[in-house]
Amino acid sequence: MAKKKGLTKLSKRHFSKYLGLMIKDGLVEKLGDNARGKRAEYYLTEIGKTQYHQNSLDLPSLRDETQISSIPQDLKALYAIILYFNQGVNLVHTEDALEYILREFGLSMSSLIIRSEESIVKSDLAEIRQVIFQSPKEDAIVFKDVFLRSDTHERGTTQYRCLLRGITCEAILENRDLRVFRYLGFTSENIRSAIRSLCSLDVLKPMGSMGPTIANEVIYKIDKSIFDILAALDIFHDNSLFSRVESIMIEIWSNFRPPTDGEKQWLYFVYGNKEADRLINNAHDARNKITGGQGMNSDMRKIIRDDKTELDEINKRVDVINEKITEIVNQMAWIRESYSTTIDNHRNLLKNIFETIFPDFFVDLKVPRFGN
């Protein structure tokens, strides 16, 4: 294998890069040592020959490398919105249609467990009895609303509403956390384009051959290995890992110190300049109220140290914050260890999501105790 002049405008640097990727992925074999000036020969392997004859080149290493690292920040934000910050898909179906949807997630109504049962609306004329079912991993929550006549308890219509951990473009626009990345003003076409990219990476796939649709929207489901990591990140609970990190940071900024440059950079990326500045200013005002406008300077620290009651109360709060930080750091360490294979297979994609919800500075974060 040799480079031939005039065939392409591929630079020497890019040629070497792609050749290295082909060797890494087993398409090409290199014979010869790496000594400078020594001749090396390259041969197509059987895998390489097969792909060459089929006119189909697949480089997993290149696919993994380019999926996130070479894309702009706004697309990184889109991936985080689609996979982490969306709030699911609400569907209303008959029981038969619901069973079809659940099958695409490897579920059925019989596999769900009852979470609660209560009357949500009750009057002299009618009652709505609601039963909430959920799957063991909470990837599907089904609301069964039975309409009854209050006087005779005669059963009327039954309506099913299913919250799926699938994805549609419109559901992302309507149901996602509107604070996060709102400043980027994503359109439905932006989201559709990002979904297509995630489908090409086998992270998402349409459900069924045609895909069940609501308002002409195809529902995509998340690859199970990716979904398991998202579940471990508590995205299906109100108290998600991101909300816990955000809450801790705001408490630190509002009570102890202003954000560092690295923390500001994270805040501006997630919320944009306007909302980030508002949060920073609110935290500044909160600190001033605590210290009477003096800030947490050395004189103020001395006053606190001299007041044992106040010192103990503040240090109790500090200890609670540090315990929360340790809990989150340990949770992320467990996730990285438990799902190492999936993380390796989708390294850059998950790295971007991790950095958004669990920024690097959080690993070494600690609030110092007063009086120590």
Between CA 49 and CA 28 the distance in angstroms is: 9
Please provide the DSSP assignment of 346-362 as one string. THHHHHHHHHHHS-GGG
**CB 205 within 8 Å of CB 86:** no
Task: Name the token pair of 249.
Answer: 């940071």
**Looking at the DSSP assignment, which residues form a beta bridge with residue 121?**
128
Taking only the tens of pLDDT, the chain with its 372 residues reads 444 444 445 566 667 767 777 777 777 887 766 555 667 787 788 777 776 665 556 666 555 444 444 456 777 788 888 888 765 555 566 788 788 778 767 788 899 999 888 877 677 677 888 888 888 876 678 888 888 876 666 677 788 877 776 677 777 777 665 678 888 888 888 888 888 888 888 888 886 433 444 555 677 888 888 888 887 887 655 578 888 999 999 999 998 889 999 999 999 999 989 999 999 999 989 888 776 545 454 444 554 555 566 677 888 889 999 999 999 999 999 999 999 998 888 888 888 888 888 999 999 999 888 765
φ, ψ (nearest 5 deg) of residue 22: -65, -35
Cβ proximity of 283 and 253 under 8 Å:
yes
| pLDDT the model gives residue 350 | 85
Exposure pattern of 326-354 as b/e (b: 16+ CB <10 Å)? eebeebbeebeeebeebbebbebbbebbb
End-to-end CA distance of the chain: 67
Q: Return the SS3 of 120.
A: strand
Query: Is the distance from CB of 204 to CB of 222 less than 8 angstroms?
Result: yes
For residue 14, the model assigns a pLDDT of 61
Q: What is the spatial distance between Cα 288 and Cα 227, in angstroms, rounded to a whole number?
A: 43
Look at residue 126 and give its three-state secondary structure.
Answer: strand
As a whole number of angstroms, the distance between CA 83 and CA 194 comes to: 11
Per-residue confidence (pLDDT) for residue 278, from 0 to 100: 93
- Residue-level pLDDT at 299: 47
Torsion 318-319-320-326 (CA) sign: positive
The whole-number pLDDT of residue 321 equals 93
Model pLDDT, residue 246:
92
H-helix or E-strand containing 289? helix 261-291
**The whole model's pTM is what?**
0.63
Residue 294 sits at the vertex; the CA angle it makes with 292 and 300, to the nearest 5 degrees, is 95
Work out the number of other CB atoms within 10 angstroms of the CB of residue 192.
14
Structure tokens of 84? 């982490």
Q: Which two tokens stand for residue 203?
A: 């992270």
pLDDT of 298: 47
